[in-house]
């Protein structure tokens, strides 16, 4: 009995005002000096909260009753909002999204970085706030996710789905009617492939039983107008695939790269599988300032291409290149930044873990007649060595764009030892960037901070920090 009342006491917090938006798309509220993280609310909402997790220093809760709705709220435009994991900030106006993204960067740099900061350059918003992505990946499933309303209606629903994973559920897919993330003909192609598969009784994949045929669909729409479609199926049925490919080629003659993969593995990744080009070229091109980037089926390219251009221009501006510099581009991916800055400096050394990305990087230099780049594949902490520095020289400028985990401690130590004049640190994770900046502050001061929004309607934020040798 005592336990029950104690539990009840912790269970519901009444009339709590939500304060701000923080990392991972959650909002923050406070209760008795304890921080509470809540999803699906907006700063200014007054809500009753049910605690779903209680830790020493924070709690997680869900809103169970709304007393007041925030003035910052706007009407979400997508019918899948609230269920789909994609654009979780749609209920907040874009200016407010930008405000909280910038604040997140500032809070992290102040709290974790603990360094003195210059005045921030205002966050660079994305001109397009919808249809800004150039790549989407959809999954087929024979167990579509049903919303509460659908279940309560007692109606029978088609359980075949082609869409996105429900957050945290590997086995449940939300059937997407219209997605606002990628421009036409992305929606049309997805709907057509779905319709064709249904009409021809091609079974949608069962992830639990590992059976079915249709597995996955990738659509890439490049800013050159080139268009790649990759269909992934579970087993090799040549006649069936040929008919599907012919249908797609005839319905969408604008597809310039039509490909398929037979994937009988337990998961959808296909980096280790053959991708068969059925029609057109096995790659497409993105373009920036006349530089063309070849993007193959396994290549990484920034998904918001317009905003990537803004990000790279800022990166180059902060690098302050005069034509004489030796630049190291760490975590270079397909060498996009390396090739983008190559014409403004003496030489660029690009380093990246994934060998196929390094192959792309070299091709991207070749096809653009860029001859002052050298690329290395391998783990950064091994490749960025004394030997490499002896071979190429001490860099004047280092551009670094690590993954979410930030830089390995050994890489930071090496940078402190190599001691370039400037480090331009591009990051998609303000928390790990702030940690690395603190380490680097031993020999560097932060002289510019430029947040950039690459992903409107989501909590993600990109940030560039310029570190100048003290
Ligand atoms: C945020 S992406 C940067 C992409 C690139 N700068 C661009 O703008 O397209 C981070 C890159 O770091 C690479 N990477 C991750 N861990 C690595 C490591 N330990 N050593 C080298 N590269 C790594 C990833 O493969 C990925 O290409």
Same structural domain for residues 312 and 455? yes
Digit-coded pLDDT (tens) for 391-445: 999 999 999 999 999 999 999 999 999 999 999 999 999 999 999 999 999 999 9
**278 & 421 share domain:** no
Residue 5 has pLDDT above 60, yes or no: no
Q: Best mutation site among 296, 340, 353, 454 for ligand 1, i.e. most ligand atoms within 8 A of its Cβ?
A: 353
Which one of 73, 88, 109 terminates a domain?
A: 73
DSSP character for 25? Answer: G
Please give the model's pTM, rounded to 2 decimal places.
Answer: 0.92
Which residues make beta-bridge pairs with 233? 214, 262
Question: Do residues 4 and 438 lie in contact, with contact meaning Cβ atoms separated by under 8 Å?
Answer: no
For ligand 1, atom 11, the nearest C-alpha belongs to 331
- Cβ–ligand 1 contact at 307 (below 6 Å): no
Longest pairwise C-alpha distance within the chain = 77
Specify the CATH number for the domain of residue 319: 3.40.50.150
Name the residue with tokens 């000096």.
Answer: 33
Identify whether residues 118 and 145 lie together within a single domain: no
Distance CA 128, CA 385 (A): 41
Residues 3, 6, 8: CA angle, nearest 5 degrees: 110
Does residue 2 carry a pLDDT above 60?
Answer: no
Is the Cα dihedral 52, 58, 63, 67 positive or negative? Answer: positive
Q: Is residue 399 part of a domain?
A: yes
The CA distance from 465 to 426, in Å, is: 7
Judged by DSSP in three states, 100 sits in helix
CA–CA distance, 44 with 53 (Å, rounded to integer) = 22
- Say if 79 falls within a structural domain: no
pLDDT digits (tens, 9 = 90+) for 61-110: 999 999 999 999 999 999 999 899 889 999 999 999 999 999 999 999 99
Which residue did the predictor score with more confidence, 292 or 9? 292
Asked whether residue 422 is assigned to any structural domain, the reply reads: yes
CATH number at residue 220: 2.40.50.1070
The answer for residues whose C-beta is within 8 angstroms of residue 3's C-beta and 6 or more apart is none
- Report whether 347 belongs to an annotated binding site: no
**Stated length of the chain:** 470
Nearest CA to ligand 1 atom 1: 403
- In angstroms, the CA 28 to CA 372 distance is 48
Domain that holds residue 387: 96-128+304-469
Nearest CA to ligand 1 atom 15: 403
CB atoms within 10 A of CB 324: 9
For the beta sheet containing 34-38, the strands, ordered from the edge strand earlier in sequence to the opposite edge, are: 12-17, 46-54, 58-68, 34-38, 27-31, 20-21
- 143/123 same-domain check: no
Helical segments of 202-257, H only: 238-251
**Is residue 317 located within the same domain as residue 460?**
yes
CA angle 443, 447, 449 (to 5 degrees): 120
Domain count, the chain: 3
Residue 7 counted as domain residue: no
Q: Residue by residue, what is the 3-state secondary structure of 146-195?
A: CCHHHHHCCCCCCCCEEEEECCCCCCCEEECCCCCCCCCCHHHHHHHHHH
**Mean pLDDT throughout 331-354?**
97
334 touches 383 (CB < 8 A): no
Does a structural domain hold residue 3?
Answer: no
Contact 318, 424 (CB under 8 A): yes
Which of 304, 361, 283 has the alpha carbon at shortest distance from 127?
Answer: 304
CA-closest candidate to residue 115, choices 460, 442, 469: 442
Same structural domain, 38 and 111: no
Pair 282, 310 in one domain: no
Q: Closest ligand 1 atom to the C-alpha of 302?
A: 9
Which pLDDT does position 9 carry in this prediction? 53
Q: What is the mean pLDDT of residues 251-264?
A: 98
Straight-line distance from the first to the last Cα atom of the chain, in angstroms, rounded to the nearest whole number = 64
Give which of 193, 251, 256 is closest to 220, Cα–Cα. Answer: 256
- Render pLDDT for 137-190 as a digit per residue (tens, 0 to 9): 999 999 999 888 888 888 888 899 999 999 888 889 999 999 999 999 999 999
Residue 293 lies in a domain: no
Task: Tell me the C-alpha distance between 342 and 321, whole Å.
Answer: 10
Q: What is the CATH number of the domain that holds 47?
A: 2.40.50.140
Strand partners, 12: 50
The domain boundary residue, chosen from 288, 312, 334: 288
H helices of 234-335, where? 238-251, 305-319
Check: CB of residue 432 under 8 Å from CB of residue 406: yes
Q: Is 48 annotated as a binding residue?
A: no
Do 197 and 275 share a structural domain?
Answer: yes
- 433 has binding-site annotation: no
Instruction: Kindly give, in sequence order, each residue whose CB lies less than 8 Å from that of residue 199, ignoring residues fewer than 6 positions away.
Output: none
1 pLDDT band, cuts 50/70/90, is very low
Residues 6 or more apart whose Cβ sits within 8 Å of residue 148: none
Going by C-beta distance under 8 Å and a sequence separation of 6 or more, which residues neighbour residue 370?
Answer: 291, 339, 342, 343, 364
Paired tokens of 5: 């009342």
Is residue 376 within 6 Å of ligand 1 at its C-beta? Answer: no
459 in any annotated domain: yes
Q: Tokens standing for 251?
A: 């319905």
Are 450 and 310 found together in one domain? yes
Check the annotation: does 152 bind a ligand: no
Mean pLDDT to the nearest integer, 107-126: 94
Question: How is residue 97 written in tokens?
Answer: 């999204």
Is 396 found in the same domain as 275? no
Residue 18 shares a structural domain with residue 155: no
> pLDDT confidence of 236, banded at 50, 70, 90?
very high
Q: What's 41's DSSP letter?
A: -
Do residues 306 and 132 lie in contact, with contact meaning Cβ atoms separated by under 8 Å?
yes
Mean of pLDDT values over 201-205: 98
Other CB atoms within a 10 A radius of the CB of residue 185 amount to 18
Does 122 lie in the same domain as 139? no
- Assess if residue 90 is contained within a domain: no
Predicted confidence at residue 458, as pLDDT, reads 94
- Alpha carbon of 357 to ligand 1 centroid (Å): 9
Query: Catalytic residue numbers?
Result: 428
Q: Crossing angle, helix 186-199 and helix 238-251, to 10 degrees?
A: 140
């Amino acid at each position: 009995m005592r336990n029950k009342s104690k539990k009840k006491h912790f269970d519901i917090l009444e009339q709590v005002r939500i304060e701000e938006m923080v990392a991972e798309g959650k909002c923050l509220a406070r209760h008795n000096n304890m921080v509470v993280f809540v999803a699906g609310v907006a700063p200014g909402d007054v809500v009753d909260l049910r605690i779903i997790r209680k830790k020493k220093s924070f709690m997680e809760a869900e809103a169970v009753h709304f007393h007041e709705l925030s003035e910052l709220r706007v009407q979400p435009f997508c019918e899948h909002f609230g269920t789909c994991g994609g654009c979780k900030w749609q209920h907040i106006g874009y200016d407010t999204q930008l405000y909280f993204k910038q604040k997140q960067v500032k809070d992290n740099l102040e709290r974790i970085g603990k360094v003195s900061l210059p005045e921030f350059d205002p966050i660079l918003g994305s001109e397009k706030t919808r249809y800004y992505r150039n790549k989407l990946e959809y999954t087929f499933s024979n167990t579509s996710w049903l919303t509460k309303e659908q279940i309560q209606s007692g109606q029978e629903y088609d359980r075949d789905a082609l869409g996105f994973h429900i957050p945290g559920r590997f086995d449940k897919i939300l059937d997407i009617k219209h997605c606002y993330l990628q421009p036409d003909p992305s929606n049309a192609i997805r709907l057509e492939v779905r319709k064709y598969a249904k009409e021809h009784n091609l079974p949608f994949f069962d992830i639990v039983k590992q059976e079915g045929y249709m597995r996955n669909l990738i659509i890439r729409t490049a800013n050159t107008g080139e268009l790649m479609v990759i269909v992934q199926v579970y087993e090799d049925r040549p006649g069936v695939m040929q008919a599907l490919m012919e249908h797609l080629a005839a319905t969408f003659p604008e597809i310039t790269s039509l490909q398929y993969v037979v994937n009988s593995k337990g998961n959808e990744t296909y980096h280790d599988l053959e991708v068969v080009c059925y029609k057109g070229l096995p790659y497409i091109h993105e373009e920036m300032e006349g530089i063309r980037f070849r993007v193959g089926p396994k290549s990484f390219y920034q998904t918001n291409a317009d905003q990537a251009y803004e990000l790279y221009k800022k990166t180059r501006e902060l690098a302050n290149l005069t034509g004489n510099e030796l630049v190291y581009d760490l975590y270079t991916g397909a060498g996009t930044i390396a090739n983008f800055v190559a014409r403004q400096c003496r030489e660029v050394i690009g380093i990246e873990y994934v060998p196929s990305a390094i192959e792309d990087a070299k091709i991207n230099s070749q096809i653009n007649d860029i001859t002052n780049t050298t690329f290395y594949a391998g783990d950064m902490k091994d490749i960025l060595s004394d030997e490499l520095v002896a071979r190429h020289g001490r860099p004047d400028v280092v551009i670094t764009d690590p993954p979410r985990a930030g830089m390995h401690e050994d890489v930071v130590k090496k940078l402190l030892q190599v001691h370039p004049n400037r480090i331009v640190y591009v990051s998609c994770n303000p928390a790990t960037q702030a940690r690395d900046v603190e380490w680097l502050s031993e020999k560097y001061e932060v002289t510019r901070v430029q947040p950039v929004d690459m992903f409107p309607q989501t909590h993600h934020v990109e940030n560039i920090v310029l570190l100048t040798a003290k």
